[in-house]
């Protein structure tokens, strides 16, 4: 109710008021009506503030929901990236293991090939016959075998060196 309406009611009632008690009652009612009117205005103001706060909370909840949805999307994206990274890691790990296995196999084959080559070289270099007599003239009937002896000794020394390399290779394995 507006102030004008209360004032109109007061003006309408005054001609009918006859006694002092009626006037006092009317004044009390008029005062109560004005208090109610001011309380109503305060309630309207409070209602407006509550509606504003409600709208702000609703907007905040909507923003939080939006952020949660974005967080869920981001989490899903990160989980997909993590799954892909795990898959890539497993593939690389498997590739590494296969490559390492092949490297070990090739290393074993290379060591075997090296041993075979050293054994073959040792057989080729080692003289096949007995050592010639190293005398200039003796009872054996040979003469001038010093060059053959030097070659035989040199070949035997090389064969011994190759044999030492083979032993050294076996000890390192």
pLDDT score, position 143: 61
Q: What is the spatial distance between Cα 149 and Cα 28, in angstroms, rounded to a whole number?
A: 151
pLDDT score, position 116: 87
* CA distances to 8, 14, 53 from 20, in Å: 20, 11, 49
Q: What is the spatial distance between Cα 112 and Cα 166, in angstroms, rounded to a whole number?
A: 11
Q: pLDDT tens, position by position, for the chain (173 residues)?
A: 555 566 666 666 555 556 677 777 777 888 888 888 889 889 999 999 999 999 999 999 999 888 888 888 888 999 999 999 999 999 999 999 999 999 989 888 888 888 888 888 888 888 887 777 766 555 666 666 677 778 888 888 888 888 888 787 766 65
Dihedral sign for Cα atoms in the order 157, 158, 163, 168: positive
pLDDT score, position 81: 92
pLDDT score, position 49: 92
Q: What is the spatial distance between Cα 145 and Cα 57, in angstroms, rounded to a whole number?
A: 115
């Amino acid at each position: 109710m507006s102030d004008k309406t209360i004032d109109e009611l007061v003006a309408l009632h005054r001609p009918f008021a006859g006694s002092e008690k009626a006037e006092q009652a009317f004044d009390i009612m008029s005062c109560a009506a004005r208090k109610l009117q001011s309380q109503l205005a305060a309630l309207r103001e409070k209602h407006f503030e509550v509606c504003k706060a409600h709208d702000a909370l609703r907007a905040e909840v909507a923003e939080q929901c939006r952020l949660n949805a974005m967080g869920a999307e981001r989490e899903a994206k990160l989980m997909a990236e993590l799954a892909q990274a795990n898959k890539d890691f497993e593939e690389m790990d498997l590739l590494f293991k296969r490559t390492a296995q092949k490297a070990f196999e090739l290393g074993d084959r290379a060591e075997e090939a090296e041993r075979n080559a050293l054994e073959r070289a040792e057989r080729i270099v080692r003289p096949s016959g007995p050592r010639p007599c190293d005398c200039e003239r003796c009872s054996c009937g040979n003469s001038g075998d010093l060059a053959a002896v030097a070659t035989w000794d040199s070949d035997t020394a090389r064969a011994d060196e190759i044999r030492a390399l083979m032993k050294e290779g076996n000890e390192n394995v």
